[in-house]
Amino acid sequence: MKFKHFDCDCKSLSHVMRVCYEQPEDFEEDWGYMLYMNVMLDKHVGFFKRVWNAIKYVFTPQYTMCELEFIYNDETVDGIYNALKEWKHNKKLWDKKFEAARLKRKLEKARKDSLEKKKAKKNKRLEDAKNKV
């Protein structure tokens, strides 16, 4: 699995975005090439602070329990864009390999079926020849 991490410009350790993707080991997986994006915007506070936040959440309609803000600079946006572009490129390559592996399996099955039919025909001709004699 490949990971790319992006930090918020506010430099808070709890404001992190992680983009990760992985390629399956074989081409028989149905779910294919996956992309995950995790955004962590937590503030780690003590027990009483969490109780106070819960009370404020219940009685104050505008109050939210988590921050939903991530400050992007040009470098971060470029990094996210490049990570997504790299993922898309690798996904296209994987899709081509997956399709090639699928076609190869189909061809091998068709070839095997064809050989079995030829053998069956040959055996039937031999049986017919034996019965005639």
Identify the pLDDT of residue 119: 92
Burial 66-85 (b: 16+ CB within 10 A, else e): eeeebeeeeebeebbeebee
Identify the pLDDT of residue 105: 92
For the stretch 3-36, pLDDT in tens is 888 887 777 777 777 777 776 666 565 555 666 7
Identify the pLDDT of residue 61: 67
Percentage of the chain modeled with pLDDT above 90 = 14
pTM here? Answer: 0.45
